[in-house]
Structure 1
Amino acid sequence: MIVQITGNVKFPITLDPTVWIFDDRKLTFNEIFNPSSENQAEEEENELKRQSLRFDREVYQQKINPPVNKSINRYEKERILKETFLMPIQPFIQTSEPSKDVKEVTLVSKDEEHTLDADRFSDALLLFSKNGKPLSENGPVHVYFEDQGEKQTPIEGVTKIVFS
Structure 2
Amino acid sequence: MIIPIKGKVTYPITLDPSVWIFDDRKIELEHAFTNKAISEDKKDDIEQASKRWDSEVTDKAKPPVNRSIKRFEREKILKSSYVMPLDDFLNHAQIKEDATEAILIRNGENAAIPLADLYKSYFLFSKDGKPLKDNGPVHLYYKDGSNKDNPITNITGITIQ
Same fold by TM-score, threshold 0.5 exceeded? Answer: yes
Which one is further off, 87-96 or 72-81?
Answer: 72-81
Structure with a larger share of its residues in helix: 1
> Aligned AA for 1:71?
S
Counterparts of 1:25 and 1:82, CA distance in 2: 18
Counterparts of 1:121 and 1:150, CA distance in 2: 13
> Aligned AA for 1:16?
D
Q: Report the 3-state secondary structure (helix = DSSP H, G, I; strand = E; otherwise coil) of the residue aligned with 2:144.
A: helix
Give 2:116's aligned residue: 119
Give 1:10's aligned residue: 10
Indicate the percent of aligned positions where both proteins have the same amino acid: 42
Q: Report the 3-state secondary structure (helix = DSSP H, G, I; strand = E; otherwise coil) of the residue aligned with 1:108.
A: strand
Alpha carbons of 1:157 and 1:91: their partners in 2 closer, same or farther (altered >3 Å)? same
Please show how residues 1-164 of structure 1 align to structure 2 within 5 Å: 1-33=1-33, 35=34, 66=63, 69-149=66-146, 151-164=148-161
Residue 75 of structure 1: how far off its partner (Å):
2.0
> Aligned AA for 1:82?
K
Q: Deviations over 1:100-136 (max 9, x none)?
A: 0101100001111000111111101000000000111
Residue 65 of structure 1: how far off its partner (Å):
6.2
The alignment of Structure 1 onto Structure 2 pairs a total of residues equal to: 155
Residue 68 of structure 1: how far off its partner (Å):
5.7
> What residue ranges of structure 1 are gaps of 5+ in the alignment?
none
> What residue ranges of structure 2 are gaps of 5+ in the alignment?
none
Question: CA contact under 8 A between 1:89 and 1:126: conserved in structure 2?
Answer: yes
Question: CA contact under 8 A between 1:89 and 1:123: conserved in structure 2?
Answer: yes
Q: Deviations over 1:32-76 (max 9, x none)?
A: 23x596xx6xx98xx79xx7xx97xx88xx778645642011121
Q: Report the 3-state secondary structure (helix = DSSP H, G, I; strand = E; otherwise coil) of the residue aligned with 1:148.
A: coil
Counterparts of 1:15 and 1:36, CA distance in 2: 26
Question: CA contact under 8 A between 2:125 and 2:138: conserved in structure 1?
Answer: yes
> What TM-score do you get using the length of structure 1 for normalisation?
0.80
Question: CA contact under 8 A between 1:125 and 1:146: conserved in structure 2?
Answer: yes
